[in-house]
Structure 1
Amino acid sequence: MKLGGIFMNCIKRGWLYTTRKKGKSFLLFCILFLIAVFVLSALAIDKASSLAQDNLRKSLGGEFTIGYDYSKDNPYLNVEAVDGGTIMYSTQQITPELVEEISKIKGIQYCSATTETLTAFSTIDFFKGNIPIEEEFRATTKILGVWKSEENKHFTSKQIKLVEGRHITPQDKGKVILSKDLAVKNRLKVGDILKTDKGIELEIVGLFQQSETESINEQVTSYDKIQNLMIADLATLIALENSPAIQGFNEMTVSISDPQSMQGIISSIKDIKTVDWKGFSIIENNENYDNATSSLQQISNLVSTFLIIIFIASVITLSLILTMWSRTRIHETGILLSIGIRKISIISQYITEVLLIAVIAFFLSYFPATIVADQVGSYLQSAPEQIETLEDTEGLVADNRSNTSNDETDTNVSMPDLDVQIQSEEMIMLFILGIGIVVISAGISSISTMRLKPREILTKMS
């Protein structure tokens, strides 16, 4: 008999058996239906968790900082006595050329290279801080030297926003950006020239507006106030300092689009041969991403474990039920063998019987699985947040803190919503796993009967 005929006979015999044994078929349908609901729900939650991690990774990004290595391992580290104190700097500094080369590496979004100094402007009326300072520093402010101001963390983090003029570029010399508030206070505008107490002239090329100022309770000096901050080009900082301590940038924060690519990017940076990396340290900062994805990773691990348990439990349950039923079909098996039907055809019939019911159960499981997956996903998402809230509350009670805060930037990132959907991909996976469960279970349940020889089966019949 041809293969097609054998297959059709298996389907025909399987259909006749399932329609004749309505009680057994209904029980098998219920079991397969429950299995399908659990498996389909788990697959949908697992996919939603993976998508949420991908979206979170892209939205948060990652960053690492390249700076001086202040340990004895840095052969370029210098310590000098200055005005009764000491100054520590590295003779190998971050050059604009190095920043440019690093910025071209694939996956890097921003390069916030900076250095800073205090500079006196006797002609400018600065905003006052709430920490008393010595007379000689009252007319000073912090000037931040940057590579490209638009890639500086103050701007990329939305702490400040350019509202007039243009950004600082690597080609600039003697250019500065200051706050809109400071400009209004001193009747300054874009294009005006500022002169430092050292006689260095700076042209105002842009004005920024800060998103917020320091709180009343925050202790800050006048030269550290965001409203007094000035942002200038590197050439200006070198001229202002006129010292080997500032001949380049001393720190660079590199922002990347995908935190998972951080190690590869760092390796690419260390492959740059124009720099002796013994003079620098690289510090990774993936805390936000790790904190935000930890709950999602827990959900993913939990779902994976659940799928394994469901698969094993389903195989065991189905195998036991089908084994018990197969023992009641010894007479039928003996007759089929006696008329020349092979054992493989009989096993195929048993598998077909279960598959006919499974196909219906799998399709009908779509609607309840959608509801179950959504409810379970919401619970799994809220559980870690409730635990974190409880821990935070206990911490506040233990620390006995007051309502005042230090106004530091909140680095806690809440877990994103799980968009649980059952699509064709999950249905295909359900059928693959379901067919696997059915084939394995039916195969196991048939071993006890199929290992017997036809004569032994006929003997058991008698």
Structure 2
Amino acid sequence: MRSITLAVRYIWRKRGRTISLLLILLVVATTTLTGLAVRGAAADAQQAIRQALGGVFTIEQDESNPENWTNRQIEGMGYQQVFAGKPITAELCGRVMTQVQGIRGCDATTEQVLVPETTDGRTLKLIDDGSGTDPASEQAFSTDDFGDTVTVIGGTDSRFDANFAKGYLVLADGEPVIDPAARAGTERDGSDDDADAGTGVGTDDGVVGDVLIGSQLAERNGLRIGDTIVLRRATVHAQMSGTTVEQTRTPVRIVGLFDQTAKSSALTSNWSMTNAMFTTMDVVDHSREGTAEEGFDKVSFYVTDPDRTADIAARVQALDELSGGQYVVSQDTADADAVSEPLRNLDALVLALVVLALAAGMVILCLVLASRVKERMHESGVLLSLGFGRWAILSQYLVEAALVAVVAFALSVPIGAMIGQFVGDGLLGMSRAGMGGMGGTVGGLTSKDGMTVANSDMMSPSFTPNADMGSIHVVIDGWTIAGLYGLGLALVAVSVGLSGMVLMRRRPKDILAAMS
């Protein structure tokens, strides 16, 4: 208590020097506090990104295995090499979910391009949102009604479709599309029980299944939830497969509407996500007979803990169901990496800033405190000659500096709260500068029914990860303040110790002799 009283008296008596020390400590404290808060915000943002964009792995047919390909005769076209590997089914999705813990959901998908119509045969008015990336292809594919086709994604659970799971799409109204066969984890068999589970398969009104469409597309065509539309193959597709357009007409009921939260791009504007539709395998197979036999293109699994994705994917790869070279398990972290990279750079930048601030603060504090110790050397010599110990005197200096530091740290909290978000956004902008765009590549041409068309990768709309997903929200909480006080008081203690080394080495007689 006596040390605190003496420290307060000295601080008040030397107000000029005290204010100088206070300002130095305030600058160091504000810089450190802001850095700690920004690092914490960056860590929280990275965790959120891993949860939204990471934590996913896929099972696909192994198309690189030559044994999975065969030659098939196509009427009127001769022989063509087609994929003949083991198909991906809803049953496989269910078995993996049952045998491996830590998976919160999955969605098996297949993609086709179909023409959407009203029930009286009028083609829906599509939206040209400028997302097409290849004008030449758009012109080439616009022949007949092929230019009216849209991307149709047949899946088992639209909630876990990659576009919805990653937050690029949100359900604006209605319900998701869930295949009853996948919900039960059983093989699709077209039974009436499955039809009654909620997809409308085999209903009396002729509706084959449910569909999700974009809210903008619905608004343009005056559609709403509960309305029925028709999906069919393009004329050229129907002719090449030896069927008629009428035979491919598939009535579906609109059960939900979705909105986009990020910008998408596609090879042509009619294949953009604005015009895309989500349905089930029953619908796709009714429009393009044989799709169910070929199976899904891939199945995506979403894990509960993103940090365990690689481990869970390895356990899935080791399952007996995936042996024999029929399937390949992969983990795609491209989107998460693209958004997280600036945050990782920011973390390194802020860490360097904090270390630099602490180092510079220590040097300046040592110089300032050393000057104060030198000015009080005579006082120290008198105290030593009166029997006071060196540690007691040094402790007095430490209490004086600590009292000023506590005030400086307290003042830095509101200042840090005011400038923290601004500094964080500025540093994040610097981190993003120079990073290239997150472009993608489109696939080649492939065939599953004897006609060479754009493959699913080529026609699939793709999203550019929204930079806002990597934004940070700087908040100064109790742990950040505690970290500031811990680092700050440690810095003050080290600085006082270094500046007092002269006092610790000299004897009282030498000090008084030098001063006289």
TM-score by length of structure 2 reads 0.66
Contact 1:150–1:168 under 8 Å retained in 2: no
Q: Does 1:272 align with 2:322?
A: no
The residue correspondences of 1:178-257 to structure 2 (distance < 5 A) are 206-207=253-254, 218=268, 231-233=280-282, 240-241=289-290, 246=293, 248-256=295-303
Match of 1:370 among 417, 424, 435: 417
Q: Which runs of 5+ in 2 are unaligned?
A: 127-138, 182-187, 196-200, 202-207, 233-237, 438-458
Distance 1:126 1:275, change over 3 A: farther
Matched-pair identity in %: 25
Distance 1:70 1:345, change over 3 A: same
Distance 1:434 1:235, change over 3 A: closer
- Residue by residue over 1:336-355, the C-alpha shift from the partner in whole angstroms, topping out at 9 and shown as x without a partner, is 22222222212211111101
Secondary structure of 1:87's counterpart equals: strand
- Residue by residue over 1:127-170, the C-alpha shift from the partner in whole angstroms, topping out at 9 and shown as x without a partner, is 599837799x99x9999764446645577665999969974321
Distance in 2 of aligned mates of 1:216 and 1:53: 28
Match of 1:102 in 2: 96
Q: Does 1:39 align with 2:32?
A: yes
Q: Does 1:112 align with 2:161?
A: no
Match of 1:26 in 2: 19
Contact 2:153–2:277 under 8 Å retained in 1: no
Match of 1:441 among 495, 499, 505: 495
Match of 1:380 in 2: 427
Distance in 1 of aligned mates of 2:7 and 2:150: 87
Match of 1:81 among 72, 87, 109: 72
Match of 1:321 in 2: 368
Distance in 2 of aligned mates of 1:361 and 1:385: 33
Match of 1:53 in 2: 46
The residue correspondences of 1:279-318 to structure 2 (distance < 5 A) are 279-318=326-365
In the TM superposition, residue 207 of structure 1 has moved relative to its aligned partner by 4.0
- Residue by residue over 1:163-183, the C-alpha shift from the partner in whole angstroms, topping out at 9 and shown as x without a partner, is 69974321551844266999x
In the TM superposition, residue 383 of structure 1 has moved relative to its aligned partner by 4.6
- Residue by residue over 1:86-142, the C-alpha shift from the partner in whole angstroms, topping out at 9 and shown as x without a partner, is 3343544434343113335555444222357899xxx9969599837799x99x999
Distance in 1 of aligned mates of 2:176 and 2:335: 33
Q: Does 1:342 align with 2:337?
A: no
- Residue by residue over 1:17-45, the C-alpha shift from the partner in whole angstroms, topping out at 9 and shown as x without a partner, is 32332222222122112222222222222
Match of 1:177 in 2: 209
Distance 1:50 1:441, change over 3 A: same
Match of 1:419 in 2: 473
Contact 2:177–2:210 under 8 Å retained in 1: no
Secondary structure of 2:500's counterpart equals: helix
Contact 1:67–1:282 under 8 Å retained in 2: yes
In the TM superposition, residue 450 of structure 1 has moved relative to its aligned partner by 0.3
Distance in 2 of aligned mates of 1:35 and 1:277: 62
Aligned residue pairs total: 428
Q: Which runs of 5+ in 1 are unaligned?
A: 1-7, 393-405
The residue correspondences of 1:121-140 to structure 2 (distance < 5 A) are 127=123, 131=141
In the TM superposition, residue 211 of structure 1 has moved relative to its aligned partner by 5.7
Contact 2:72–2:79 under 8 Å retained in 1: yes
Considering only aligned residues, what root-mean-square deviation do their CA atoms show, in Å?
Answer: 5.0
- Identify the range of structure 1 (337-346 vs 407-416) with the bigger mean alpha-carbon deviation: 407-416
Secondary structure of 1:82's counterpart equals: strand
In the TM superposition, residue 226 of structure 1 has moved relative to its aligned partner by 6.6
Contact 2:265–2:461 under 8 Å retained in 1: no
Match of 1:398 in 2: none
In the TM superposition, residue 280 of structure 1 has moved relative to its aligned partner by 2.5
TM-score by length of structure 1 reads 0.72
In the TM superposition, residue 205 of structure 1 has moved relative to its aligned partner by 7.3
Q: Does 1:428 align with 2:482?
A: yes
Distance 1:236 1:346, change over 3 A: same
Distance in 1 of aligned mates of 2:409 and 2:278: 64
Q: Which has the larger radius of gyration?
A: 1
